[in-house]
Homo-oligomer: A and B are copies of this chain.
């Protein structure tokens, strides 16, 4: 059952946040939404962490006539996986993004103008540090669970490793301990597409640099799908509107990437795209540690991992490396490899497959 109407909230922190880079960010706004009710023991909170282009709008609708519900509406609500009759579900927009939390589109208090490239490079660890401010303000000492996929999974890993006393469990989907050289290179060409756009103006644009951002999204989009799912959906069909021998004629898959790329320009900021791409590439669960073993040493929460067979961006072997390391350390860890043709996007689309597994994992967690 869908959650219904939800209101986004924005809360401001006057603290100055010391970032991993050594730079200072503040004041900080954090946009968030909550679903369900915090219990008296304050022990039923589940934080859902979003991926690259996600927002705090996890589920429900902001008004009756909002066309689309939140980005993962299927799993939040009464009787759903994240049952709002039992849990208090929170989702906050990461810093660096453009959906209400402080990011490059925010006003830089030192200049009174948009940060743009004056915004500091941030990391996934910084995003989570900012989330701890929100939980402090909500009076939540310990999360019942932190759950996320892709960049959301990286955040869940940071919670489990950097704040081991503040999480009772973690569910990590389609993620990696550190993106590979190929994953980095695919983000690199996406960044390059924006840099090439003369309307980007080193970040000082008034209107999103549309051609560059649309192409950057097109490149990213390919990495979220799989050859199998693209073949099933489009195959080699040529656009019915075009002649096969027209110079500008397009294959259906080409038209689809183009169409979606330009749609993306209306909803996501180019500089935020660049900052978050950077955060993804820089991500390394073992940053600052001698090894992955050392990084996972403090973990106390049981962690449930999911990988998806056709995910070539963050392939299953990368999740399996974390699972093996945690097992060697004697930590409580559970791993499911899901057979799916949907590529990296499977973590959003295959929820019916993994819901019963997450359900039974959560049922075994003591707050």
Contacts and interface: CB of A to CB of B under 8 A. Distances in A.
B196 A227 contact: no
Interface in A237-263: 244-247, 249-251, 253-254, 257-258
Contacts of A282: 244
A181 B250 contact: no
Given A247-B278, A282-B244, A230 B185 contact: yes
A109 B189 CA distance: 38
Given A180-B230, A181-B227, A189 B247 contact: no
B192 A222 contact: no
Contact of A184 (B185, B236, B246): B236
Contacts of A254: 184-185, 188
Given A196-B197, A281-B251, A215 B189 contact: yes
Interface residues of A, number: 56
Interface of A: 20-23, 117, 120-121, 178-186, 188-189, 192-193, 196-198, 211-212, 215, 218-219, 222, 225-227, 230-231, 233-236, 244-247, 249-251, 253-254, 257-258, 274, 278, 281-282, 284, 312, 315
13 contacts: A21-B244, A121-B245, A121-B249, A179-B236, A180-B227, A180-B236, A182-B230, A182-B231, A184-B251, A185-B254, A192-B258, A193-B215, A196-B211
